[in-house]
Amino acid sequence: MLSGRRLDLLDPTPVDIELEDIAHGLAFVARWNGQTHGDFPYSVAEHSLLVEHLVGRLEPKTEPRWRLAALLHDAPEYVIGDMISPVKAAVGPGYGALDARLSVAVHLRFGLPAELPPKVKSLIKRADRISAWLEAVEIAGFNAAEADRFFGKPPAGVVETLSIVPRPPVEVRAAFMARHGALMSELDRRRA
């Protein structure tokens, strides 16, 4: 990793996980295999920021630790990349197992439980699908009917006022780190 850490992908440990590596990696990993409109690829870091924001829109009283989990929901992709769903299915269960091991290490590194409660996982998944819908319509060339068919129609009012404009990786990396810092500060305040 750029931090100098060595990460064993098959047996990752929390002590080998650094926020700077996650933010940097995710800011350079393109969603939609890079097939999006805009001057910059739409990154997994940008997507993660949107999912965390959508969690707050769906459930405004969501605890900061679960919003942190939303921000980090695709963190393993900083080292394994982002594959579109059909490719993940073709690769088979090995990809999911690798993703799960990395997720556990990331969660433990930032004070989250290894396994998220089902209700939290479900909320993050809902926000993830809404994000995919918005991304599909705004930057990936889908019309609303196609996006509805693939991702489900978002609840009324959830995506209004939101728009996607891909930013340079350096800006997204900074925004990801800043949001992570804000959530960690809120967690520290609540623990005090």
The phi-psi region of residue 152 (left if phi > 0; otherwise alpha if psi is between -120 and 50; otherwise beta) is left
Is 42 inside a domain boundary?
yes
Distance, in Å, from the CA atom of 28 to the CA atom of 38, rounded to the nearest integer, reads 15
Give the global pTM.
Answer: 0.95
Residue 59 tokens, joined:
């459930």
Is 156 inside a domain boundary?
yes
Q: Of 2-6, 15-19, 82-86, 162-166, where does mean pLDDT reach its minimum?
A: 82-86
Q: How many CB atoms lie within 10 A of CB 7?
A: 17
Is 159 inside a domain boundary?
yes
pLDDT digits (tens, 9 = 90+) for 103-136: 999 999 999 999 999 999 999 999 999 999 999 9
Is 3 inside a domain boundary?
no
Domain range for residue 139? 14-183
Distance, in Å, from the CA atom of 116 to the CA atom of 122, rounded to the nearest integer, reads 10
- Portion of the chain with pLDDT greater than 90, in percent: 84
What string of DSSP letters covers 87-130?
A: HHHHH-HHHHHHHHHHHHHHHHHTT--SS--HHHHHHHHHHHHH
Instruction: Count up the domains in the chain and report the number.
Output: 1
Distance, in Å, from the CA atom of 131 to the CA atom of 47, rounded to the nearest integer, reads 7
pLDDT digits (tens, 9 = 90+) for 3-61: 888 999 889 999 999 999 999 999 999 999 999 999 999 999 999 999 999 999 999 99
For residue 154, what is the DSSP state? P
What string of DSSP letters covers 33-65?
A: GG--SSSS--BHHHHHHHHHHHHHHH-TT--HH
Q: What is the CATH number of the domain that holds 147?
A: 1.10.3210.10
